[in-house]
Amino acid sequence: MTITKQTGQVTAVADGTVVTPKGFQAAGVNAGLRYSKKDLGVIVCDVPASAAAVYTQSRFQAAPLKVTQESLAAEQKLQAVIVNSACANACTGAQGLKDAYEMRELCAKQFGLAPHYVAVASTGVIGECLPMEKIRAGIKQLVPGATAADAEAFQTAILTTDTVMKHACYETTVDGKTITVGGAAKGSGMIHPNMATMLAFITTDANISSPVLQEALRSITDVSFNQITVDGDTSTNDMVVVMASGLAGNGELTPDHPDWECFYEALRKTCEDLAKQIAKDGEGATKLIEVRVRGAKTDDEAKKVAKQIVGSNLVKTAVYGADANWGRIIGAIGYADADVNPDNVDVAIGPIVMLKGSEPQPFSEEEAAAYLQQETVVIEVDLHMGDGVGVAWGCDLTYDYVKINASYRT
Amino acid sequence: MTITKQTGQVTAVADGTVVTPKGFQAAGVNAGLRYSKKDLGVIVCDVPASAAAVYTQSRFQAAPLKVTQESLAAEQKLQAVIVNSACANACTGAQGLKDAYEMRELCAKQFGLAPHYVAVASTGVIGECLPMEKIRAGIKQLVPGATAADAEAFQTAILTTDTVMKHACYETTVDGKTITVGGAAKGSGMIHPNMATMLAFITTDANISSPVLQEALRSITDVSFNQITVDGDTSTNDMVVVMASGLAGNGELTPDHPDWECFYEALRKTCEDLAKQIAKDGEGATKLIEVRVRGAKTDDEAKKVAKQIVGSNLVKTAVYGADANWGRIIGAIGYADADVNPDNVDVAIGPIVMLKGSEPQPFSEEEAAAYLQQETVVIEVDLHMGDGVGVAWGCDLTYDYVKINASYRT
The tens digit of pLDDT for each residue in A57-82 reads 888 889 999 999 999 999 999 999 99
Q: CB-based contact (8 Å) between A9 and chain B?
A: no
Which 294-313 residues of chain B touch chain A by CB within 8 A?
Answer: 311-313
Best mutation target among B405, B407, B409, B410 (most A Cβ atoms within 10 Å) is B405
What's the distance, CA B351 to chain centroid? Answer: 28
pLDDT 10s digits, A191-203? 443 334 689 999 9
Q: Does residue B237 contact residue B199 with C-beta atoms inside 8 Å? A: yes
Number of cross-chain residue pairs from A and B with Cβ atoms under 8 Å apart: 200
pLDDT, position A189: 59
Please judge whether A232 and B58 are an interchain contact, meaning their C-beta atoms are less than 8 angstroms apart: no
Best mutation target among B190, B191, B197, B233 (most A Cβ atoms within 10 Å) is B233
Note the CATH architecture for domain B288-405: Roll (3.10)
Q: Is B359 exposed, middle or buried (0-12, 13-18, 19+ CB in 10 A)?
A: middle
Q: CB-based contact (8 Å) between A200 and chain B?
A: no
pLDDT, position A191: 47
pLDDT, position A195: 33
Helix axes A93-111, A132-141, angle to 10 degrees: 20
* A46, containing H or E segment: strand A40-55
Please judge whether A330 and B236 are an interchain contact, meaning their C-beta atoms are less than 8 angstroms apart: yes
pLDDT, position A233: 64
Task: Find the closest chain B residue to A229 by CA distance.
Answer: B313
| DSSP category for residue B117 | G
pLDDT, position A3: 41
CA distance B383 to chain A (A): 12
CATH number of A3-280: 3.60.70.12
Q: What are phi and psi of A399, to 5 degrees?
A: -55, -40
Distance, in Å, from the CA atom of A253 to the CA atom of A34, rounded to the nearest integer, reads 42
Q: What is the pLDDT along chain B (410 residues), one digit of tens a residue?
A: 444 444 448 999 999 999 999 999 999 999 999 988 999 999 999 999 999 999 988 888 899 999 999 999 999 999 999 999 999 998 888 999 999 999 999 999 999 999 999 999 999 888 889 999 999 999 999 999 999 999 999 999 999 888 899 999 999 999 999 999 999 999 865 544 333 468 999 999 999 999 999 999 999 999 999 888 766 666 788 899 999 999 999 999 999 999 999 999 999 999 999 999 998 888 788 999 999 999 999 999 999 999 999 988 889 988 998 988 888 899 889 888 899 998 999 999 999 999 999 988 999 999 999 999 999 999 999 999 999 999 999 998 888 877 777 765 54
- For residues B21, B25, B30, B32, the Cα torsion angle rounded to the nearest 10 degrees is -110
Q: Which residues of B touch A234 (CB under 8 A)?
A: 331, 334-335
Please judge whether B360 and A318 are an interchain contact, meaning their C-beta atoms are less than 8 angstroms apart: no
What ipTM does the predicted assembly reach? 0.75
Q: Does residue B28 contact residue B143 with C-beta atoms inside 8 Å? A: no
Q: Which residues of A touch B305 (CB under 8 A)?
A: none
Listed by start position, the domains of chain A span: 3-280, 288-405
Sheet holding A359-360, edge to edge: A228-229, A388-395, A288-296, A376-382, A346-349, A352-356, A359-360
Instruction: Report the pLDDT averaged over residues A222-238.
Output: 80
Where residue A7 falls among pLDDT bands split at 50, 70, 90? Answer: very low
Q: Check pLDDT > 90 for residue A172.
A: yes
pLDDT, position B29: 98
Q: Is residue B197 annotated as a catalytic residue, yes or no?
A: yes
Strand bridging mode A166-174 / A177-186: antiparallel
pLDDT, position B197: 64
Q: Check pLDDT > 50 for residue A4.
A: no
Total Cβ atoms within 10 A of residue A153: 23
Q: Is B361 exposed, middle or buried (0-12, 13-18, 19+ CB in 10 A)?
A: middle
Does domain B14-280 fall under CATH 3.40.50.10320? My reply is no
Instruction: Report the pLDDT averaged over residues A348-374.
Output: 94
Q: Which residues of A touch B194 (CB under 8 A)?
A: 335
Q: Does B237 belong to an annotated binding site?
A: no
Where residue A408 falls among pLDDT bands split at 50, 70, 90? Answer: low
Which 241-260 residues of chain A touch chain B by CB within 8 A?
Answer: none
Catalytic residue among A56, A92, A156, A197: A197
pLDDT 10s digits, A90-134? 888 899 999 999 999 999 999 999 999 999 999 988 888 999 999
State the number of CA atoms in the 13 A half-sphere of B376 facing the CB. Answer: 12
CA distance B98 to chain A (A): 15
CA distance A20 to chain B (A): 35
Total Cβ atoms within 10 A of residue B305: 28
Distance, in Å, from the CA atom of A356 to the CA atom of A381, rounded to the nearest integer, reads 10
Q: Does residue B232 contact residue B217 with C-beta atoms inside 8 Å? A: no
Best mutation target among A238, A314, A361 (most B Cβ atoms within 10 Å) is A314
Q: Does A186 belong to an annotated binding site?
A: yes
Q: What residue spans of A18-121 are helical by DSSP H?
A: 63-75, 93-111
Please judge whether B313 and A58 are an interchain contact, meaning their C-beta atoms are less than 8 angstroms apart: no
pLDDT: which is higher, A183 or B280: A183
Catalytic residue among B123, B197, B204, B229: B197
Angle at A154 between CA A150 and CA A158, to 5 degrees: 170
Q: Check pLDDT > 90 for residue A383.
A: yes
Close Cβ partners of B33 (under 8 Å, ≥ 6 residues apart): B39, B40, B84, B85, B86, B87, B124, B131, B134, B135, B138
